[in-house]
Structure 1
């Protein structure tokens, strides 16, 4: 008999899990349920559009979706169109891989005046469920808080001209929004010193490639003590990042019209504003981590004249209907991917993988080993339990509830439509920015 598995979430984590399942020695039938009409999750809607090399991974993911044992069921919202108890009728196991889309909180006075990086990324990536416009409030100087790749993406998009971004897949509404920017200076703040920056080496180097943007690494706070040296000694990538940053400290400026400033050892303290707009942002200089690994303030404060503040300090997953939730860590409680009930016991046939399992850490490639661990437990513990074991039964369920399921063929039509839009403008593709537009193109 064929094992039937549902995967809720069509991003890299879910697709990798499906791929690993089909490569096992067990006969499987996998349905990937995705809330959006398009697959690929954060690869499509979380990677900056001027990173085409990173998006090459989409080609590999699409080859997985084309497998005979896998079905893509897009435009299906878990919790609204289908619930866990419904899925148990048709599947022996359910894997949740819904990722993380919300922004983490700062926990400082005036935070309500700040903007979430995740919201900004969703806007410039033309996520169909988000607002089509973005206001830059005539800001000329802005702050970005965080030292990860998302912070660099946000800083780069804020600093680049709209015309530079027009070679990417952004639709007209995003280009027109970016064209309203008056930003000349983007200040990126890191709580710790440069030895602890979490940028990937490639992302950091690409920050310096724009003909209109120069990167300024400020020497204040750019200190590497014995602890920092020990840290980079254990992390090759961060040593490469530090070497790049060191070469940029104090270099002569070229006089480009836009600047990205990198500030280290500056912790956010407060945001002040007037009439709902930011007027100032305060930081405190920090020094080396203490025994607990946390940085400590020195009592030296700086007020920065910025008009917007973007939080890029990490994503946060959201709870799912009918499943336990760890509010503190923002994950579904689990033991190596086996979902646990309130008593800490595994819930039969229920698994997690990706950021909803381990939190929003690691690059896209890290999800492969994570998915392998979850799939290993699934195959070891799952037996044929679903009463209705056919794809026809699943299809009938959605027809009865009036859900327009978007399958892989629909996605390929949408994909071809976006590529055709791009060809007209000599671009690789132009995204369709609305859900209804995506559905129309795929029909």
Structure 2
């Protein structure tokens, strides 16, 4: 009797769920359909949405509603709290599935090669995001002793970090932040936050909406120096070609010409300042040195030889995320991606059979969450083409129960989609008691108990 095409997806964030959705939408081309298992190292699904988006972005978190609808489909199973490769490896996955799609994303900080970056008080933005988003595998406390803070980078993550540092704990209390994060932010001493970009306003990677949201807080005074509003021919071309870039530039221009108000927390957006050294004393951050830059006509910048020292006591680098290497798969350490052609994993110039990638592990940590849909569609199209042309490996144990028996024999305490509904209900009950929509459960063991783990 014919069986469904069995697919494993490693990573149950947006990229993995979009891949599952693309498979289901192509199901009519596959007889007798598809069967999809998602494996996620966290006890809960949704990846970046749960652990990488600032808690005061409810519109972005609304994407969860659409992802829920995909995971509700009967052809999909979730195996949470399952780690690749310690709980299940590539050979195991090929034993149970016709094909494997890796969608493990990127959650580490990209390095920044400037002297002093290793000092105490110098942090990666990704680590801070994990803390305030209640990631179960990071410390429960965060040092927030600095009154003046530098954030390096002009992307949305830099904005998130700067905004959370500049807001009061009470402003964030209506969100889903857990008690330890509220307590940490309540003790935050930051009064000034300085965001630095080495190029100009036209080259900033902010989303217009996220940028404007900085100004919505009654406690944050956003300040832009009029001298930082500058454009060359390349910058003008960028604004003409991109509505988003033009909107960002206009917002910054408006802020630069207004009078500075009296809101208690100051958030400075600096352009044409390239970090050259994190200054230290007794092993701790005591300042930041930058070199003033100028536009070269193309939208890029060159150094002017003019340096400035900034009085800050902590530095957060928000210069990009980096994916972790996946055992048994080739890896490009420069780009932080798995080599591929259209999603087909490539090793030694050949396609690694039945092995695919999608999302940030495929194209790098760039673009917005919705951009992963195109990645997923391309990868799934090539997977189905390989299936139609008989290029997929034949699994030895393709039955639905085989992987369940495997995990239970290893004693893996895995969670399920039904378990997520229980965890979701538990978090909403905690929130309801405080007049909030949700209070996130942080401890992994507590998450497992609330989920009613299997295995």
TM-score interval (norm. to shorter): over 0.9
Query: Map of 1:65-80 to 2, 5 A cutoff?
Result: 65-80=71-86
Please tell me whether residue 261 in structure 1 is matched to residue 260 in structure 2: no
Work out whether residues 33 and 76 of structure 1, in 8 Å CA contact, stay in contact via their aligned partners in 2: yes
Runs of 4 or more above 6 Å deviation: none
Work out whether residues 220 and 263 of structure 1, in 8 Å CA contact, stay in contact via their aligned partners in 2: no
Q: TM-score, normalised by structure 2?
A: 0.95
Q: Secondary structure at the match of 1:350?
A: strand
Aligned equivalents of 1:294, 1:244: Cα separation in 2:
21
1:274 Cα shift?
1.7
1:313 Cα shift?
0.7
Aligned equivalent of 2:358, options 350, 353, 377: 353
Q: Secondary structure at the match of 2:276?
A: strand
Aligned match of 2:115: 109
Aligned equivalent of 1:402, options 380, 389, 411: 411
Aligned equivalents of 1:266, 1:384: Cα separation in 2:
53
Aligned match of 2:399: 390
Work out whether residues 201 and 229 of structure 2, in 8 Å CA contact, stay in contact via their aligned partners in 1: yes
Aligned equivalent of 1:8, options 7, 10, 20: 10
1:231 Cα shift?
1.1
1:294 Cα shift?
4.5
Q: TM-score, normalised by structure 1?
A: 0.98
Aligned equivalents of 2:6, 2:273: Cα separation in 1:
51
User: Between Structure 1 and Structure 2, how many residues are aligned?
Assistant: 440
Aligned equivalent of 1:129, options 109, 116, 137: 137
Aligned equivalents of 2:349, 2:343: Cα separation in 1:
13
Root-mean-square deviation over aligned CA pairs: 1.1
Please tell me whether residue 89 in structure 1 is matched to residue 95 in structure 2: yes
Aligned equivalent of 1:424, options 415, 433, 436: 433
1:384 Cα shift?
6.2
Q: What whole-Å deviation, never above 9, does each CA across 1:203-242 have from its counterpart, x for those lacking one?
A: 0010100011110011233211221001111111110111
Aligned equivalents of 2:109, 2:11: Cα separation in 1:
19
Aligned equivalent of 2:59, options 10, 35, 53: 53
Aligned match of 2:375: 370
Aligned match of 2:318: 312
Q: Secondary structure at the match of 1:15?
A: helix
Q: Secondary structure at the match of 2:289?
A: strand
Aligned match of 2:188: 181
1:405 Cα shift?
1.4
Q: Secondary structure at the match of 2:215?
A: coil
1:290 Cα shift?
6.8
1:391 Cα shift?
1.5
Work out whether residues 354 and 393 of structure 2, in 8 Å CA contact, stay in contact via their aligned partners in 1: no
Give the unaligned 5+ runs of structure 2. none
Aligned match of 1:143: 150
Aligned equivalents of 1:333, 1:160: Cα separation in 2:
41
Aligned equivalents of 1:281, 1:231: Cα separation in 2:
30
1:289 Cα shift?
4.7
Query: Map of 1:157-236 to 2, 5 A cutoff?
Result: 157-236=164-243
1:42 Cα shift?
0.6
